Structure 1
Amino acid sequence: MRRADWQPAFDRLLPFVEDAARTQYEAGKLDDAFRFWAVGQVLTDTGLSDNELLDAIRLDNKSDLGIDGYYEDADNETLFLFQSRFHSVPTPIGNDELSAFLASFWKILNPEIVLAAAARNPVVQDAHKAVRDAIEAGWTLAFVFVGSGYLSPEGAKYSEEFRSKVQTIDSMEIRQELAVYDIEGLLNLYESHLSPARLNTDVTLNLTPGAHFSSTVANFRVLMTNIPASEILNAFRQHQFALFKLNPRGPLQNKTNREIKATLADPQKRKYFFHLNNGITALCSSFSIQGDSVAIRDFQIVNGCQTTVTLWNSRAVVEGDNDVRVLLRLIEGLTGIGEEIAETTNTQARLKAQDFKSRDKLQADLKNQFDVLSAPIFYEIKRGDWEMEPNKQRYAESQTGVFRRIKMIDLAQATLAFLGEPGDAKDRSRSIFEVEARYKKVFPDGVRVEQLLLPWHVYLEAASQCALWNFNGAAYARYCLTGIVGVEFAPSHVLPSSQAARQLLSDPERIKGIVRRGQPSHL
């Protein structure tokens, strides 16, 4: 591939990597930063905090046995295994790299090899246990290769050949999947996660006579139709992932996708697809029925993202079979209830509780408070908000260029640890948004930013200190250390008042001193 072919994509990618390096590592650690950003794109659907994402890729080190990270996705019964390659000058991703990655599985499965490697990299034992547990539970093993290069023709052929296989391990039939994201694939994945304000996804769909009707429900025009799946494929062929700009989840592989694919692969079940699938819910600015077709302006699929992508991946059998039909519910009206419909209809792929809390008025108020600080902080309450921010430099530190940016889930974890629950802050971050009492403990009514910035600064200092210790338990220690300081600053496990928090924040050396001692000053 010529430089002119890959340079534009690399130029788009590099700022994301440099931002991750400044924020999570050091400015020059582009290899680590690329891994963090790329794996984060793949796992966006899981709603991991930055800290949880760092934990997922901490395996990368000497003696990692060819696997840079792993993540256990209990919701989808999938164990993700990651390998990352960053090159400042993009190179081809061939079948040698991919076959070596798949072969690393047998190393991580071998207890003798793992024991020898653990002397230099203790985390490899955790990965070994995760793999063993996944096999015993019958989970899917998802091998994900991310690279800043481009997939060679041989690599593309190899990745397609091994995209989905079933193999027998310890008398268990285990599905093994391979997903390869090269530079273009990663950028496409990134684009699919955005929710831009402007839409330009007009389509015309052919209707089957007698298989559609329109009505008005609660002042919204609605079209219900039973259409050939090939019509959805034509829309996707035209606009690709832009059809999902309002969908709160990306089209990642999971159990639902595999079930849809299995139905389409079975000639007997395929004709019953309409009855077995939940169908597609879409929004639009307007639609106009003209004979046996409907012209749709700003067509957006808000539920059925996975159905659409799986249909596309099975298009070889779908496009030639008019018996494969899909229920489409089209609602006219992007404004007003668009976001609510996108969330409440998305039942085939479970939304995270934090996605719903992003619409809480309290979170919107906090975002405004962070934004009017003398040194404004970007408070990311919804995934993808930062990427859509047009004036990022407003949040940059003048000396370092590091962006002042806090994610809602990261802040919630730090605050819960500060209030005496470091274990749950680390391992049960989802519960903060699922359990209302816990959510109110972390984000009480009327909370002010200074009350939350106090535990945040304590956590940052604790994380910095633990990074210096460089031991396997540091991921837990930073939360425990935050909790220890919280015993002194918030002994009743309630956030200090705004005035008290401001006073404590004005004395950063005191915070540093208590964190470094690792115990309250009165002990």
Structure 2
Amino acid sequence: MSKYATLLNILDKVCQEAPITFKKYHPPVEDTEKVNQARARAFIHLYLKVSFGLLDFIERENYLTDDTFDGGIDGYYIDADSKTIYLIQSKFRTSESNFNSKEIELMEILAMDISRILDGENQDEKGNEYNGKIKQMIKKLSLIKDISRYRYEVVILANLSKVSNSNLKKLTDGYPAQVFDFEKSYNQLVYPVVSGTYFNATDLHISLDLSNKNSGSKISYAVETEYSKCEITVLFVPTVEVAKLMQKYKNSILKFNPRSYLEFTGRKVNNSIRESIVGKKTNEFALYNNGITMLSDESNINEKIGQKNKAQLTVTNPQIINGGQTSFTLSRILDEFQNEESIFENKEVLLKIITFTNEDTTPTSEANKLELIEAISQATNQQTTVTNADKVANSKSNIELQSILFNRYGIFYERKLGEFADGIAEGYINEKGILERNLFYKILYATQGRIEDAKQKRLFQKGAFDTSSLNAKVLDKFYFGYLSFIELTKDLTIINLRNSQLFSKIYASVLIGSIYDTDLSIKNSPKSILTLTKHWNSFEGHISTKPENSRFSSIIIDKKTSQETLTFNYANYFSKGDFKNDVIGYFTAIVQNSQEI
């Protein structure tokens, strides 16, 4: 699936979030024009959801102004935290080629009545009344008490190149602007919403219950390590608070965790967590669960908040490095019971907060801090086995590889187990659209003719693959092989990833593709597969009769009948025979004689 196709799928899912009474978002599927109009509005929803963490459809819809007499402003957002008011102009393109290349007309930006609207005018220059949503925005702005502290920024959701920032400001009445072109839309809207990393927590507030705390709300302990000074705070927090924070921040709060959501592989543990919440009214959960470990840059607890037996914990830049599975399962329970918080009543979980108190921000100190984080993460993740692949999930080379594969080919490479579980749960992508990390290496090795390496089970024993060797030519060859893998296995319910014939076919498809075009053009992938599948059986017959391949043949005698059968060890041949030259020699003649389909 292309990046644009994924975007369309996401926009359609956003439309499905709309109540049925919002008919604009539920057009007849055969009405292409109205479907495109719904997607155009959903595109603004996507920006608001990803950029500001607005999960509720109605809340986002209130910020959309796109309609007749909207003064050229399609939406807005008032960010009280950053003291910024965003004014949105969006131009959604309804085909992949246009979305990736067609630019917004400069007159459309000039049509934004920014100054008139911010001056409180209710009409445009022609005397037309602005629509109700624009007037509502003007009223909201007038009610901001400290409006003098706010700044304005224009957001353009469209392609716009060859216009300098200074000239762009002239088009937007002097206000700064940021442009979300097609690349930025894919990287900062599509990818984050699929991976659940779209909204970063800065200051996190957690409500605490002090009614059953006999000696205060916390225990604190100062620790000095060889890398950094830390303060450890240990306390029990309501499970519903953990569920809500994970529901909002998702994978963005698990950046240093070696795994993301373990929705599939961690099912046994997830069911145990769920049972202790849903199946019991008492607080066995606090006894059974190992707890959650969180990193922070600053943490504070205030027990004097004007509420009896209540306190508030504030954590700055939080990151969960252990207990992500617990947190994720709690958030899924909250989703399942439609945000009904009573299911979590009187149930708490142990939370350990590690706050870094070292004020040294030099590169060396930051590197030491990251090394300490990695050590803590590996030491504390014991509830589910941490594999070698988990240990290198956050390595620089793996992160680079993930970015390259998405930017170049639109592939969702799963470097951390479960990191796309949110995208799957929301229906943005299906499980088959994810490239599992072991499979990447297997296909990569296969395209290089390393059939025995592709059959290995434990590919990560020696650490992460060095991305410095992954130049454009190697990656294009991998992608050609990846497309071949998809085609070769599309009708299989169970795929044997140690099957030498499968990986040999992938390698053969790449070789055939290079016969059609030495640059291995992707457009020849279907042709290569058709040629391969049509002639594979005859190719196997050909190689089994070549005299130089006789060493791979043997005679098997049936013990009952004494009948002799000549067999050919194809698996042995694929890894040790002259497979490459045999494929090129055999299929070159086929291609040249136009015998391919």
Q: Which has the larger radius of gyration?
A: 2
Scaled by the length of structure 1, the TM-score of the pair is: 0.43
Scaled by the length of structure 2, the TM-score of the pair is: 0.39
